Amino acid sequence: MAASSNRTRLRYLLHLAQDNLDFRLPEIKALLALRGKPFHPGEHFKEKAPFWCLDGLCEDDVRGIMARSVCAKSAFELWGHGQTHSELRTSLLTYPSELMTPFLHKDSTYKINVYTFNKTLEFPDRIKRINAMEYLPFEGTVSLKSSQHIFCLLEDYGTDPNNIPEDPYYIYFGRWIADGQRELIRSHSVKNRHFIGNTSMDAGLSFIMANHAGVKENDLVFDPFVGTGSLLVACSHFGAYVCGIDIDYNTIHGRGRSSRTNQKWRGPDENIRANLRQYGKEKMYVDVMVSDASKSVWREAALFDAIITDPPYGIRESTRRTGSHKDVTKPADGIYLESHVPVSQAYHLSDIFTDLLNFSALHLVIGGRLVYWLPVYRPEYCEETVPLNPCLRLISNCEQMLSSHTSRRLITMEKIKEPEEFDSLAHLADPRFSPFQGHNAFREKYFSGVNKRKEENKSDLNGE
């Protein structure tokens, strides 16, 4: 009884990376949802802060989150906190001793780290901080190299590098539990990836997308604009089986010009399967094929646990689909000659998103998630321009700036019901169920903005 009441009193502290700020909360919420846990922030929670206190969790939950998160750096069991060292001391001395003693006994080894956010402390000041913690009943032996228990004093000096206060705004002390998966950003960097293209997705963002989608072991994940398969690499790392399609023959078959500056043509075995092999995940590879996302070849069934994708915006790759406005006569037997090259026509962004949402509504399992990037022209953006579908609930919508006037938004949706006949009339109730035509001119707006900026820079240079 006492143990369970103690467990509920425990509070954990997350230390988060200060990049991709918008993506952190949906990531942690999605990882908690995977464990069936709601997000319970402690008091004074600030979304953009480097430290978050979380309530209502157990140590296993925290370890589970840290085994996946690329936004969180470290997690601690919070023993005390306060605005000053004296408040911290009071808080620590009221922390139940039965929760501390298992980690302080005389047969154990330990060390205390000092971490300061937005300020560098000189070595003697760090030692002073550590010595000042002597009021805690540490009975074990200090071991810097292989300590059984690691404690950390964390001082928060705010987020403004031009205004660093003398004393910290807030101080925490806790027992280190686990580090997050920031290392994946380096180990899976596209710089060292076997097969890459002009639009290969950055490793950190690929893992964030897989986390927003709540990808888990043995899931089947599909990317309908697979390119070089960066998103499949991330999902396979989390134990999912992966597959995808792309309209580009060369990309799927790893042929054609290389995207590396020192290499003219792609070498043998430059393909998505080899990318998975590079990270020891080849067994998670299902297949990829040349296919047009606008013309589904899949049987009408809920096939995928997650659909994760980065559709083309028409900036560095064309947005094409098979078909023609002209009448192209099909052979009488319906079979084209082997030499037949299908014609293609423009694939408008609004249609890409409508098709993607309809496809996901049909092919995701209930509770399965769609995660995709929506490019937006910021002066025109409002929440109403985010495409909706009656079968998909919007879970999160995070912005990543591309330029002063353009950004892309990472949209996460969850399937809540199977498509029904009258869903096609949903746009009568809410226009967001029909395609937002404004997305179509993204390319023109993107380049007009770039040119406008160039003109402004020229004027600045000319002193006008």
Ligand X SMILES: C[S@@+](CC[C@H](N)C(=O)[O-])C[C@H]1O[C@@H](n2cnc3c(N)ncnc32)[C@H](O)[C@@H]1O
Identify the residue among 77, 155, 219, 246 touching ligand X (CB under 6 A).
246
Under rule CB under 6 A, residue 360 binds ligand X: no
- Helix 21-34 to helix 203-212 angle, to the nearest 10 degrees? 40
- Helix 59-66 to helix 21-34 angle, to the nearest 10 degrees? 130
Under rule CB under 6 A, residue 248 binds ligand X: yes
Pick the stretch among 42-50, 311-319, 384-392, 445-453 that binds ligand X (CB under 6 A): 311-319
Identify the residue among 247, 274, 288, 361 touching ligand X (CB under 6 A).
247
Under rule CB under 6 A, residue 278 binds ligand X: no
Closest by alpha carbon to 197, among 243, 238, 252? Answer: 252
- Helix 203-212 to helix 230-237 angle, to the nearest 10 degrees? 60
Identify the residue among 89, 194, 321, 363 touching ligand X (CB under 6 A).
321
Q: Cβ-count burial of 216 within 10 angstroms (0-12 exposed, 13-18 middle, 19+ buried)?
A: middle
Pick the stretch among 73-81, 246-254, 356-364, 395-403 that binds ligand X (CB under 6 A): 246-254
CB of 427 to ligand X, least distance (A): 23
Segment 280 to 299, residues that bind ligand X, using CB under 6 A: 292-294
Pick the stretch among 310-318, 363-371, 374-382, 442-450 that binds ligand X (CB under 6 A): 310-318
Q: Which residue is nearest to ligand X (CB)?
A: 227
Under rule CB under 6 A, residue 245 binds ligand X: yes
The rounded distance, in Å, linking the Cα atoms of 49 and 51 is: 6
Q: Per-residue x/- mask for ligand X, residues 209 to 228, rule CB under 6 A? A: ----------------x-xx
Identify the residue among 320, 378, 427, 432 touching ligand X (CB under 6 A).
320
The rounded distance, in Å, linking the Cα atoms of 94 and 79 is: 9
Binding residues with ligand X: total (CB under 6 A): 24
CB of 55 to ligand X, least distance (A): 37
H or E element, residue 244: strand 241-246
The rounded distance, in Å, linking the Cα atoms of 440 and 240 is: 33
Identify the residue among 26, 50, 312, 390 touching ligand X (CB under 6 A).
312
Q: How far is CA 153 from CA 51, 63, 106, 434, in A?
A: 12, 20, 21, 53
Identify the residue among 156, 219, 310, 414 touching ligand X (CB under 6 A).
310
| Those residues with Cβ within 8 angstroms of residue 258's Cβ, 6 or more apart along the chain or in another chain | 264, 265, 266, 267, 270
3-state secondary structure 58-79: CHHHHHHHHCCCCCEEEEEEEE
CB of 204 to ligand X, least distance (A): 13
Report the first-to-last Cα separation within the chain, whole angstroms.
75
Q: Please say which residue, 106 or 191, places its beta carbon nearer to ligand X.
A: 191
Under rule CB under 6 A, residue 231 binds ligand X: yes
The rounded distance, in Å, linking the Cα atoms of 354 and 370 is: 13
In the complex, the residues that contact ligand X under the rule CB under 6 A are 197, 199-201, 225, 227-228, 230-231, 245-248, 251, 292-294, 310, 312, 317, 319-321, 347
